[in-house]
Amino acid sequence: MRIFRDADGVHVEAPAKVNLYLEVLGKRPDGYHELITIMQATDFCDEVIVAEAASGVSLAVEGAELPTGEGNLVVRAAKAFLDAHAPGRGARMRLVKRIPMGAGLGGGSSDAAATVVAIDRLYGLGISRTKMAAVGGKLGSDVNFFFNGGTALCRGRGEQVAGVYFPYRAAFHYVLLTPGTHVSTAEVYQNVGGIPLIKWMEHPHQPRERFEAHLEQTGEALLGHTQMIMALTMGDVAIVGARLKNRLEPVTLALYPELEPYKEALQAEGLAALMSGSGSSFFGLAPTREKAVEAASRLETRFPGKVRVLSGGGEPDYVWM
């Protein structure tokens, strides 16, 4: 998250993320799904610019048709953060939108996090990450990841974030395909099975044989994220590629079968491919930035305007929360 201040106000970059790993542990009593996911921020960014205002919150959006009132997460983020930490102050905000929406790239959540960081800087509030996360967790499941950036392991609804420290900072390069289909995250979660860990925990007093059978079933799923962290630490593209996993991918593909060709096209380029978040974007992991650019230029003829090269993971922006 790059930050600078000029005559227009405080500028904060709001990066898109990809999910390299996403496992659903089960449905919780509050209706949300318990997750283990590994997210990585990329160099594909929106930008939020915030200037002082005597009172009230206003927003102008460039690059997309978006609501500029309460319907926009940026406005809700600004109001919630000002109410909690700078009551009586206002913000005049501009959002430069590049990241497609409903694409599984976390654009809206990233914009919300960038807004909070921008307002904190604008007024020199010095609010801790923990307090920012208390606001972010209420705005959306992915918001808190973006206070961290880099690569992080996220649990709970996704709002509990632990930065992953990589002593050897390998950069990863992706070819991103954004089909333009707006996927409803809520609809995808309604149709996900997941591993029934939560159900098990609600009924713990079961015979030992059933517990053993359950462990058999869930053991691999519960280890997957650890293996991915090790693969990312090694920086080995082939191993990371083999470990890519997203429990939501088959659900989204069943709901939106027209997305299948996007994944297949990345695989046909010889790339390990995965859907990000609840979709509709797919990314292919390339061995180098050059290879990603080559594959992207071939794919551009088939999917004009829907192809982009992203990099993530290499920047030293690890922050412990």
State the residues that interact with ligand C5P by CB under 6 A.
32-33, 35, 140-142, 157-158, 185-186, 189
Distance CA 236, CA 244 (A): 12
Q: Give the residue from 159, 144, 296, 166 showing the smallest Cα distance to 229.
A: 166
Three-state DSSP class for 202? helix
Minimum distance between the CB of residue 35 and ligand C5P, rounded to whole angstroms? 5
Residue closer to ligand C5P by CB (options 10, 276) is: 276
Q: Which of 222, 219, 279 is nearest to 255 (CA)?
A: 279
> In angstroms, rounded to a whole number, what is the distance separating the alpha carbons of residues 41 and 313?
7
User: Which one-letter amino acid corresponds to residue 112?
Assistant: A
Contact call for residues 67 and 25 (beta carbons, < 8 A): no
Active-site annotation holder among 111, 142, 245, 291? 142
Q: For ligand C5P, give the closer residue by CB, 59 or 183.
A: 183
Residue 317: count of CB within 10 angstroms of its CB: 15
CB of 194 to ligand C5P, least distance (A): 10
| Whether 77 contacts 48, CB under 8 Å | no
Tell the smallest beta-carbon distance from residue 241 to ligand C5P (Å).
25
| Closest CB to ligand C5P among residues 44, 145 | 145
Q: How many angstroms separate the CA atoms of 268 and 262, rounded?
A: 10
Taking the complex as a whole, how short is the minimal distance between the CB of residue 116 and ligand C5P, in angstroms? 16
Provide, rounded to whole angstroms, the least separation between the CB of residue 126 and ligand C5P: 27
> 96 vs 43, 196, 295, 303, CA distance in Å?
15, 41, 28, 24
Cβ proximity to ligand C5P, 140 vs 241, nearer residue: 140
Q: Is 317 a catalytic residue?
A: no
CA quadruple 242, 43, 38, 111: dihedral positive or negative? negative
- 142 noted as active-site residue: yes
Looking at the Cβ atoms of 5 and 28, the one nearer to ligand C5P is 28
The contacts of residue 252 (CB under 8 Å, 6+ apart) are: 183, 188, 259, 275, 278, 279, 280
Q: β-strand 90-96 against 33-53: which pairing, if any? A: antiparallel
* Encoded amino acid at 261, one letter: P
CB of 238 vs ligand C5P, minimal distance in Å = 30
Of 35 and 133, which CB lies nearer to ligand C5P in the complex structure?
35
Q: Write out the catalytic residue numbers.
A: 17, 142
